Every structure is written in structure tokens, then in C-alpha cells.
Amino acid sequence: KSVNIGNSVTSIGSEAFLFCNSLTSIDIPDSVEVIGAHAFEGCAALTDVVVNDSVKEVGDYAFYESGVKTAYLGHNVANIGEYVFGRCSSLEAVTFNSSVDTIGEWMFYNCTSLKKISFSDENNIKVINQNAFENCALEGTIDLSAACVISDYAFAGNQKLEGIKTGDTLISIGSYAFA
């Protein structure tokens, strides 16, 4: 089943579609600025997520344990909560935009199919919080040349990760960051 949200909606509330297992797609209009905590948690049939440029905030656990395979985070997303895509075992690819500068704690934790993260334009990632990509399947080399902090366990358990490109801005690498 699919849901088309009207253009007058500015916020999708906490737990709005919690465990809606038959939800396969949702059209989030440009009017939406906030996606609440747990909004799509457990939506096993939901496969593709586009967080439009109008969205400024994505709450904790928003897509936790959902069936999402690909995710696109729009240009104006400034606040991203914890565990947003945690335990999304089907998630394969994520695209970030220039407004995203912090990867939240446990954001992609245990996304065991996540092989690729990319940046659609300028890469402004400054902070990768603890356990952000722990137990994913990241491959190749990731460009984090703008990063200042890579926290504890940030990339732990990524056995196929070949490298990380950092720059002169990096001041801290946490414990077990790449273990």
C-alpha cells in the first residue's frame, strides 16, 4: 500500500506509521519539514526513502528496522537523530547532501547490507558519532576529508572497507573506530 500525503502537511508525527508492515511507498511532499521519532519504524515493506529538500529534521529511530534499501537525505536536513536507519538489514546505499555535517550515534548500526555511502555534492561531514556505521558492509574508500572527529566504534565491523581518506581537519579518532 502507498500513502500520498497532502501538500498542507508540515510534519509527520512520532510513530505516525509505526509497524505499518504493508506500507510499500510514501510520497513525502515538499511541505514536510519534520519527520518525527519512530515515524516509520518497523515498516518492513517500505523500500525507498527520499527525504526531500524541505525536510530539516529527522527524529530518532525514524526508519529503524524498516525494509529501506536506498535512502537519499536532502539539502536542508540539519538535525538527524540517533538510530535513524539502525538495523535496516536491507539498506544498500545512502546519499548525503551538503547540509549534513554530523552522522548521529548508531545511525546505520547493523545495516548489514550497507555497502555504499556517497555524497551528491560537497562533502561536509565533520563528525561521525559513536557506532554510526558499526557492523555494516561498507566497501572501497570513503572520503571524509572534512571530518574533525571519528568517534568510538564508528566503522567497527566493516571487514571490506579498504580505506578512509582524511584531511588536516581530523583531530580525534576514537577507540576501536575501525576495529
The answer on pLDDT for 120 being more than 80 is: no
Q: What is the pLDDT of residue 124?
A: 84
Q: What is the pLDDT of residue 121?
A: 67
Asked whether the beta carbons of 112 and 136 are under 8 A apart, the reply is: yes
Q: What is the pLDDT of residue 99?
A: 76
What is the arithmetic mean of pLDDT over 114-140?
91
Q: What is the pLDDT of residue 101?
A: 87
Cell of 59: 527524529
Q: What is the pLDDT of residue 30?
A: 93
End-to-end Cα distance, the chain: 41
